[in-house]
Structure 1
Amino acid sequence: MAACLQTLQDQGVIKRTCVLCCHPCEIECFGSCNHPVCYKCMTKLRILCQDNYCPVCRSCLEKVVYTDRVQPFEELDINSMHQCKTLPGLYFVSSESLYLCQQLLVHRCQICITKPTFKNFNNFLGHMKDTHKRYFCYLCIKHLKLFTHERRPYSKPDLNIHLKRGDSDNKSYKGHPVCKFCKKHYFDDDDLYLHLHNDHFSCHFCPADEYYDNYESLRAHFKSNHFLCEYDACADEKFVNAFSTDIDYKAHLALKHKHLLNRAEERRIRHIDIDLTYSRSNDSRTTGKNRRGDTYDR
């Protein structure tokens, strides 16, 4: 059955399935490696994502053919195919396949009856805002590689809901996370983590998911939860004057600031509290009897 199906696919009787979107390849696109992808996925990869590698074998494809019939790349006469200056490296067997590819990249208003098109995406955004009072999520625009017709317009209230809680028809999406310090939304948890890591502060003694708005907040945390040296030049230091244990803190004082300490403080830093807990064992090897026959622990 599988061999018969493959034969029919090779003969072009039935369409092969795109390995990316799992839809039938009405127009197949492939390069020298002969791994077919549908024209929508290939156009998105080449034009929107600027990715010139085969999604199957990761070979770099300098030339990609758009065709409606299965045929090995080596047997194709690329020089006789249709081309477009705005679509470098793409070759089209027919003018219809070129037209379909170009239509994917058109910025068309789906609300207007006349379905007008716009020169660029910014003009399209201005039209949607001024004419229809519809807006697009700026985070989705920045991070999601989508065709214009795939993007979702929102009213202002719906856009706020999208940012905070997500879309009602997409239960897997819970909104864009927000920084509790800046009150600004970020695309996903990874994007938020990069922001927190680069623009805020975390304690290198505590778990990594705890952040602080600025160093003054972190300094207060060091002082209340750890050990912070505020003697001499250490008062102006950052990070290096904080210690996780009392032993480390006292060792630092003895090494760097002993000349600033009085006798009571010197005695205090030489004193180390050790908390040891012993458990009594009932093992027969640790018990014995005294002269009166009473048992005792050795």
Structure 2
Amino acid sequence: MKELNYHPNLNARSLVSSYTQVIGLVLPDDSDAFYQNPFFPSVLRGIAQVASENHYAIQIATGKDEKERLKAISQMVYGKRVDGLIFLYAEEEDPLVKLVADEQFPFLILGKSISPFIPLVDNDNVQAGFDATEYFIKKGCKRIAFIGGAKKLFVTQDRLTGYESALKQYQLPIDGNLTYFATEFLEEKGYQFSKLLFQHDPQIDAIITTDSLLAEGVCDYITKHQLDVPVLSFDSVNPKLNLAAYVDINSLELGRVSLETILQIINDAKSNKQICYRQLIAHKIIEK
């Protein structure tokens, strides 16, 4: 576990209450990708801003695999080292989330859950996927490829659903050969999938990527092969990338609202309030 680089003096407050003034952040499995991906530093900045405003410290739970992360979270929960947890990812049947939920420990997910009882902060990623696809359709594109993250992630599933819904609404065919899913958000995956896409269909006229690192690989392939194919990505994009547009999902606000919400959950738990904590943060398409 690692501490972020600010440390309010919490000793006096901890002595007079059972609260630690610390919030735990749970990283996704692939922590290397976490540190490389510009989305997460932006979210962390928002979290850290609100934590500092409320005199809270942040502690990060990570590990090389699920077993290590489960151990780190167990120590946080059972050792009462934190007042609440924020999961910086969302996937189906997560044993880490199950452990925390079963213990009725304050937590929320940055993302989606199929359970109506899980607190969360998220974007409407189905609508965002639809809007991204519709953007290209209205530009006259008909062979639009989709490169997403791991299919187990709700964010990938939802953006894919939006992509397919837009194709259906505009009566364009859904071709499974135009969709690829990366188990890791890495630039080389974007490059590799671009090569496969154009080998299958040289007539591709637009590409949507759900991650800025994947977009870097896609743009690199397109530039090296002198292709005139527009690319759209999501959120914190490298300004040097030659993108047609990107979907701004307000990652800083996602972080701020996540911390504000977990503090509300913690405070409401003191008086045994039970509220459905669900916040959706707006997105918008920005042309470059």
Rg larger in structure: 1
Answer 1 or 2: which has greater strand percent: 2
TM-score (ref. length: structure 2): 0.25
Looking at secondary structure, tell me which structure has more helix per residue: 2
Q: Of the two structures, which has the highest relative contact order with CA contacts closer than 8 Å and spacing of 6 or more?
A: 2
Q: TM-score, normalised by structure 1?
A: 0.25
